[in-house]
């Protein structure tokens, strides 16, 4: 039997060619070409977020967010400094911590918060912003961002888009308020943190009284680095001076009675103490430990900076802290860089047991 042959009529051939041309045109100019170009140009988003379609209204560029975060920390810091130098703090008590310490609020906190919040909110209206102080939305401060990106950020950081809904920004308009009221200016910082899907990705820590700013972005770059060495055997431990709880006992139980303990104000200041910060009023330490309850705006920026530089900040049980949802962190914290963080955690006493023994 002869093999079956397929014969196309001339009309069939023409239809077939037209269809082929249509497919080629679609590939060249349309949807797929755009998608291919996007994947060629961008790396996976920081924090594991799926990259949104390029140019989509719901996308935000992390490099732009970093630039605005630095600006917000600096502009907020101007208010913090102005109020302190004017000596009219209007100090109030806004409540008490769980341990019974008075939580203070000053005009420095409120004016800095107002500036930082409105600047970030106007630049990124689609992004969730959590700030330490209450924001009066009717009281719109018009601080706008001129969209300029500082040269150093442009050189070190590539644009990186993520979906706006994956981002949570945490603002601390004045860290170390207690020390601010005592005029211990060296401890005071303003901080901004950007979390993507709960992971801290961008951290900015600014010292308003010495015009020093540290920033870092995970998988991006930074203007600050780790020190060249740390003392892992007998680390100097930096701890809170005004919300200490049992941290000194925990540090001594872990590292011995001779351990050097440095009490200091501010979570931002204590993270900077672990880094190479050329600042005359900055102490140095090897590990930062905090045992009482603390809020996420106090620790997110430091966590992002440490993570970007290869360090760690976890709860005392070694769990990562998620920067979405509730604003509190219950599990204490331990922060280190260029050390075996897991080994540090294993050395810590069982906290439940410790708190019974120490009561």
In the bound complex, what is the minimum distance in angstroms from residue 141's beta carbon to Mg ion?
21
Based on CB atoms, which residue is closest to ligand A3P, 49 or 176?
A: 176
Which is it for strands 287-290 and 237-240: parallel, antiparallel or unpaired? parallel
Contact residues toward Mg ion (CB under 5 A) are 172, 175, 298
Q: Which residue has the tokens 């200490």?
A: 244
In the bound complex, what is the minimum distance in angstroms from residue 160's beta carbon to ligand A3P?
29
Of 251, 346, 271, nearest to 312 by C-alpha is 271
3-state secondary structure of 44: coil
Interatomic CA distance for residues 134 and 138, integer angstroms: 12
Q: Is 146 marked within a binding site?
A: no
Interatomic CA distance for residues 259 and 233, integer angstroms: 10
Angle between helices 107-123 and 62-86 (to 10 degrees): 160
Q: Which residue has the tokens 């945490």?
A: 170
Interatomic CA distance for residues 266 and 176, integer angstroms: 4
Q: Does 282 bind ligand A3P (CB under 6 A)?
A: no
168 touches, from ligand A3P, Mg ion, none (C-beta below 5 to 8 Å by class): none
Q: Is 174 marked within a binding site?
A: yes
Active site residue 61: no
State the virtual CA torsion across 299, 300, 302, 308 in degrees, nearest 10.
150
Binding mask 147-186 for ligand A3P (x = CB under 6 A): -------------------------x-xxxx---------
| Residues 198/206, Cβ–Cβ less than 8 Å | no
Q: Does 203 bind ligand A3P (CB under 6 A)?
A: no
Q: Which residue has the tokens 């977020």?
A: 49
Binding mask 88-127 for ligand A3P (x = CB under 6 A): ---------xxx----------------------------
Q: Which residue's Cβ has the minimum distance to Mg ion?
A: 175
Active site residue 137: no
Catalytic: which of 106, 168, 177, 213? 177
Q: Is 61 marked within a binding site?
A: no
Of 122, 137, 11, nearest to 72 by C-alpha is 122
Number of residues that bind ligand A3P (CB under 6 A): 20
Binding mask 236-255 for ligand A3P (x = CB under 6 A): ----x-xx------------
The partner residues of 295 in beta bridges, in order of sequence, read 328
Annotated binding site for Mg(2+): 132, 172, 174-175, 298
Query: Known catalytic residues?
Result: 109, 177
Tell me which residues touch ligand A3P (CB under 6 A): 97-99, 132, 172, 174-177, 240, 242-243, 265-267, 292-295, 298
């Amino acid at each position: 039997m002869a093999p079956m042959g397929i014969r196309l009529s001339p009309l069939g051939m023409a239809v077939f060619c037209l269809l082929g041309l249509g497919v080629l045109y679609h590939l060249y100019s349309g949807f797929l070409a755009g998608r291919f170009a996007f994947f060629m140009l961008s790396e996976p988003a920081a924090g594991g977020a799926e990259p949104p379609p390029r140019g989509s209204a719901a996308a935000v560029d992390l490099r732009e967010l970093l630039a605005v975060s630095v600006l917000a920390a600096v502009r907020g810091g101007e208010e913090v400094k102005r109020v302190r130098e004017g000596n009219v703090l209007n100090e109030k008590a806004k409540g008490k911590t769980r341990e019974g310490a008075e939580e203070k609020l000053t005009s420095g906190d409120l004016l800095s918060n107002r500036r930082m919040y409105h600047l970030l909110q106007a630049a990124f209206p689609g992004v969730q912003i959590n700030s330490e102080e209450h924001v009066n939305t009717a009281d719109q401060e018009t601080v706008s961002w001129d969209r300029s990106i500082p040269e150093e950020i442009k050189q070190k950081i590539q644009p990186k888009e993520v979906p706006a809904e994956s981002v949570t920004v945490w603002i601390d308009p004045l860290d170390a308020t207690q020390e601010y009221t005592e005029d211990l200016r060296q401890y005071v910082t303003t901080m901004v943190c950007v979390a993507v899907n709960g992971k801290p990705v961008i951290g900015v820590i600014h010292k308003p009284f010495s015009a020093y700013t540290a920033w870092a972005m995970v998988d991006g770059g930074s203007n600050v680095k780790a020190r060249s060495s740390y003392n892992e055997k007998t680390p100097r431990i930096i701890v809170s001076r005004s919300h200490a709880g049992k941290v000194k006992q925990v540090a001594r139980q872990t590292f011995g009675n001779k351990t050097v303990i440095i009490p200091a104000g501010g979570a931002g200041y204590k993270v900077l103490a672990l880094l190479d910060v050329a600042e005359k009023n900055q102490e140095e330490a090897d590990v930062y430990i905090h045992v009482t309850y603390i809020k996420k705006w106090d620790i997110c920026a430091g966590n992002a900076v440490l993570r970007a530089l290869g360090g760690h900040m976890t709860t005392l049980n070694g769990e990562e802290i998620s920067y979405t949802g509730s604003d509190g962190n219950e599990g204490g914290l331990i922060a280190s860089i260029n050390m075996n963080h897991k080994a540090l955690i294993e050395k810590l006493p069982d906290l439940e047991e410790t708190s019974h023994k120490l009561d």
